[in-house]
Chain A
Amino acid sequence: MLDVTKTRADFPILQVEAHPGVPLIFLDSAASSQKPEVVIAAMDAYYRQMHANVHRGIYALSEAATNAYEGARAKIARFINAAEPAELIFVRNATEGFNLVAFAWGRANLQPGDEILLTEMEHHANLVPWQMVAAEKGAVVKYVPFLPDGTLDMAALPGLLTERVKIFSFTAVSNVFGTVNPVKQLVQMAHEVGALAMVDAAQAAPHLPMDVQDWECDFTAFSSHKMCGPTGIGILYGRRALLETMPPFMGGGDMIRRVTLAGSTWNELPWKFEAGTPAIAEAVGLGTAVEYLTGLGMDEVHAYEQYITTYALEALSEIDGLTLLGPSAQQRGGVAAFTMHGLHPHDIAEIVDKDGIAIRAGHHCAMPLHHKLSINASARASFYIHTTTEEVDKLVMSLHRAKKVFRL
């Protein structure tokens, strides 16, 4: 199994104190992960030794920067097993990936009355762009419900996935329940009715081995900052045949072949979708992050998270008045969202913070999910490759203390 003592040494921030004398226990990787030294060093080295604009200069330095940027794309393409690096578009984050598809593909392809199928467990990033383009094009957004245990209602799918559906966009792993959805099966079902399938991989790419060719998805998007990489960059993957037919999303430099005062023609893939100077150092950082994760082995990462999540779910479930959201450990990734009777999530997060423990409190950008559960908010602890069982024990102790503060 993954040696957690070793991985902990890779993350400089774990040496930081949350408060004077109180070590940091970071249980909010699902919101944004911490960065290993190698990623920080790679970005530093890029700026110190290699920086120039990409795809422009004739000089050696610009060529080095271009190679670093395109080299990162190739590494990430291997990480998700894409057929070719040109199918990977550098975007700012998964959110921008969804916006790109909703607007570039949606505006060109959606007709009044067409349906966009989502699920009730989606993050706002995979909801709002579709609602916006649906309003613009007169399309209809429908949602696959989830069951009380936080898994998708598969029995409801055939009734919803009709030939009116033009795209089915769903998350691979829920950011609240942690539910791991049957991606391959869902993609297949979408294709059977002639719909495209887009996968939200924001909570999958950091935690599970990913293979877009095995999934057979048409699009997927994920964010670098949740998978040991820097903020400000993410990936939209799309099948070449689809990306080729889509109009650009944003116009500007680098995305054109030829510009005249009468009009412009577009660059080839992937640059057609990368207007303006990109986040070069961030691409280099993400390239190094996927190398780091590959070095650990994604099967190992997944196995370790299963181990720590199983441990955490057992420990948390022993607290009186605590209700866990979502399915059993076998069906989920490394998140544990919960509510506590008589204690608001904000107050929970505030009290455990005093013990140096960082957890998320709120709706985690999934308001419809919380609304359906008739709660405004939940508390969420999320685990990653540096989380120890001792840290989970400290969380449990701290939650007991929170109950005491509130006289529960």
Chain B
Amino acid sequence: MDDSIYREQIIDLYENPLNYGELDAPDWSYEEDNPLCGDVVRIEVKLGADGRVTEVAWRGDGCAISQASASILTEEIKGLTLDEVRHFDKDRLLELIGVPLSMARVKCALLSLKVLKAGAYGIPDPTHMREGGS
């Protein structure tokens, strides 16, 4: 039996997730569930004056894959600009997770990215606002 999807790193992150929690006054906060299973992920992000991600936190309840994915993703986006977050490549996230996933489990793995992007597209781009001079 091949349990390679549950390699050490995944179980470690499931037991001790990274960036788990909430932020004070985040620039955006977004939550969505996976209709296949009802799992929920909420991601909150704070941008710095330079428009880059300075703080990020997530909360949720789900399987080892969706939870590990949220830890990995939130680590990875620190320091990225809003535009870079909006264009974060799903294949890059799957590569970072690094375990073979069936189609159903890919949905678990990508739930956090879906939530992150929905939040990122839901707010006005602060650089554009500055350009707008308001």
Question: A residues touching B (Cβ–Cβ < 8 Å)?
Answer: 22, 344-347, 350-351, 354-355, 361-363, 367, 370, 376-377, 401, 405-407
B24-36 near A? 1/0 per residue, CB < 8 Å: 0000000001001
In the complex, whether B94 has a CB less than 8 A from a CB of chain A is: no
Tell me if A346 and B3 are in contact (CB < 8 A).
Answer: no
Measured in the bound complex, the distance between the Cα atoms of B33 and A362 in whole Å is: 12
Tell me if B36 and A347 are in contact (CB < 8 A).
Answer: no
CB within 8 Å for A354 and B38 given contacts A406-B11, A407-B11: no
Question: Contacting B64 at CB < 8 Å: which of A347, A354, A370, A401?
Answer: A347
CB within 8 Å for A362 and B63 given contacts A355-B1, A405-B3: no
- 9 smallest CB-CB distances across A and B, nearest first, come from A346-B63, A344-B63, A376-B38, A354-B1, A362-B37, A377-B37, A363-B38, A347-B64, A405-B6
Residues of B within 8 A of A407 (CB): 11, 15
Chain A min CB distance to B133 (Å): 46
Residues of A within 8 A of B14 (CB): 406
A-B residue pair count with CB separations less than 8 angstroms: 57
Chain B min CB distance to A351 (Å): 6
In the complex, whether B110 has a CB less than 8 A from a CB of chain A is: no
Main secondary structure of the interface of B (DSSP, over half): mixed
Residues of A within 8 A of B64 (CB): 344, 346-347, 406
Measured in the bound complex, the distance between the Cα atoms of B36 and A363 in whole Å is: 8
CB within 8 Å for A351 and B6 given contacts A345-B37, A362-B36, A376-B38: yes
Measured in the bound complex, the distance between the Cα atoms of B63 and A363 in whole Å is: 13
Measured in the bound complex, the distance between the Cα atoms of B24 and A344 in whole Å is: 29
Tell me if B62 and A376 are in contact (CB < 8 A).
Answer: yes
Question: Contacting B3 at CB < 8 Å: which of A351, A367, A376?
Answer: A351
In the complex, whether B61 has a CB less than 8 A from a CB of chain A is: yes
19 A-B pairs with C-beta separation under 8 A: A344-B39, A344-B62, A344-B64, A345-B63, A346-B63, A346-B65, A350-B5, A351-B3, A351-B6, A354-B2, A355-B1, A362-B36, A363-B37, A376-B33, A376-B40, A405-B3, A405-B6, A406-B64, A407-B11
Chain B min CB distance to A392 (Å): 18
Tell me if B1 and A346 are in contact (CB < 8 A).
Answer: no
Tell me if A362 and B3 are in contact (CB < 8 A).
Answer: no
Tell me if A354 and B3 are in contact (CB < 8 A).
Answer: yes
Chain B min CB distance to A361 (Å): 7
In the complex, whether B108 has a CB less than 8 A from a CB of chain A is: yes
Measured in the bound complex, the distance between the Cα atoms of B22 and A51 in whole Å is: 63
8 A Cβ contacts from B63-87 to A? 63-66
CB within 8 Å for A377 and B39 given contacts A346-B105, A346-B108, A406-B11: yes
Measured in the bound complex, the distance between the Cα atoms of B51 and A291 in whole Å is: 69
Measured in the bound complex, the distance between the Cα atoms of B3 and A355 in whole Å is: 10
Tell me if B65 and A377 are in contact (CB < 8 A).
Answer: no
Tell me if B38 and A370 are in contact (CB < 8 A).
Answer: yes
Measured in the bound complex, the distance between the Cα atoms of B39 and A370 in whole Å is: 12
Chain B min CB distance to A266 (Å): 38
